[in-house]
Amino acid sequence: MDNELPKMGVKEISQAEFNQVEPWGAEPNIEAEAETLAEQFHETYERLAEGFGYKTRGESAVPWANVPQANKLLMIATCAELLLKSPISLPESLRKQAE
């Protein structure tokens, strides 16, 4: 497998390299929670995109199991950082829409 993902220029990284990236050292159980959140975010984002007039890229408009590894790792790391920073809550404007 080539180290570069097509049309993305993102370097594939190994699980060992991924484990060296913060914030994994702080909370050992956060990785599973972050991965679950990343998967839910991805699936929801892809489902809602068209309703907002947005067409996602073909490479990423796939079920979570088929998302390129580098994309998955980025989404998981992003979710982990957000989970560690502070409680996540809806902005007031979105809370009002949900009522």
Q: What angle do CA 59, 63, 67 make, to 5 degrees?
A: 45
pTM of this prediction exceeds 0.85: no
Per domain, the residue ranges of the chain are 15-98
What are the counts of helices (DSSP H) followed by strands (DSSP E) for the chain? 4, 0
Residues 6+ apart with CB under 8 A from 60: 46, 67, 68, 71
Query: Residue 74 has what pLDDT?
Result: 93
48 or 2, greater pLDDT: 48
Q: Please, which pLDDT band fits residue 2 given cuts at 50, 70 and 90?
A: very low
Weakest mean pLDDT among 15-19, 54-58, 59-63, 87-91? 15-19
The separation between the first and the last C-alpha atoms of the chain, rounded to the nearest angstrom, is: 48
Phi, psi for residue 11 in degrees, rounded to 5: -75, 130
For 46-86, write each residue's pLDDT tens digit.
999 989 999 888 877 899 999 999 999 999 999 988 888 86
The CA distance from 83 to 77, in Å, is 10
